[in-house]
Structure 1
Amino acid sequence: MLSDLYLWIKALHIMAVIAWMAGLFYLPRLFVYHVERSASAEMGAVFQTMEEKLLRVIMNPAMIVAWLTGLTMVSIPGLIDWSLIWPWSKFIGLIGMTWFHMWCARRRRIFAEGGNALSGRNYRMMNEVPTVLMVVIVLSVIVKF
């Protein structure tokens, strides 16, 4: 039955990944602006609301759907040749992406508690992490080395 639904599952997976990646690219950028442009408590509150909604309403559900649909596709017999490198490199990239998501969630909580100690430069550098992981994941899946 899963084989019959494969294309639907794959489409949902791709949509969830796109939404998740958009959030992973945008949240650290919000952190940069939060650090550099929120001189007033009012602006800080605006950034906190934006960060919290992005994480809770878009990123968390998208990550969960991406994981569930990905695991569903992996469970389809014959779809993946586990003797190749690509499924393992994709999995490592996915673990890295999930770690980055959790890092962002932790940073958001630290902002909410008023304890941020990182600079805009730190967040700019961390903003490159999902790009590197995306390259690893996409090359793994498309090139299948």
Structure 2
Amino acid sequence: MSDISFDRARRHVLGLGCERGTPPAEVLTLANEALKTAGIGGAELAAVASIDSRSEEAAILAVAADFAVPAVFFDAARLEEETPRLKNPSAIVFAHVGCHGVAESAALAAIGGDGELVLGKIKSAHATAAIARIGLQKA
């Protein structure tokens, strides 16, 4: 969490997963849909998070740039530690990347142990998004 600055205004992390080469516009549209569904404004985001194998993925980096927040990445082993807290664990995702979810797990990993999902995984054709919120004592 060292690259993330939480405060009373920025209490949320947007977790993202996507197939390689997904157009940035698709992921940005999904990110905005996630925020709208959760009733959260872009100014409330502290970071965008994903799996480390997507650390150079243009779509994820574009979303972070659009919201002017850092992009943080975690390895599959760290994301797998979040499995008990997932709303939508997936054996299919585990078979492909080694963890039971990317978007939800990344959001939770970035938030830390006292955070919670406020929006479980939603999907577009080639991407997933989820949102987690930090616990009150960190704000």
TM tier relative to shorter chain? under 0.3
More helix, by proportion = 1
Higher radius of gyration, 1 or 2: 1
Q: TM-score, normalised by structure 2?
A: 0.23
More strand, by proportion = 2
Q: TM-score, normalised by structure 1?
A: 0.22
State the structure with bigger RCO (CA 8 A, min sep 6), 1 or 2.
1
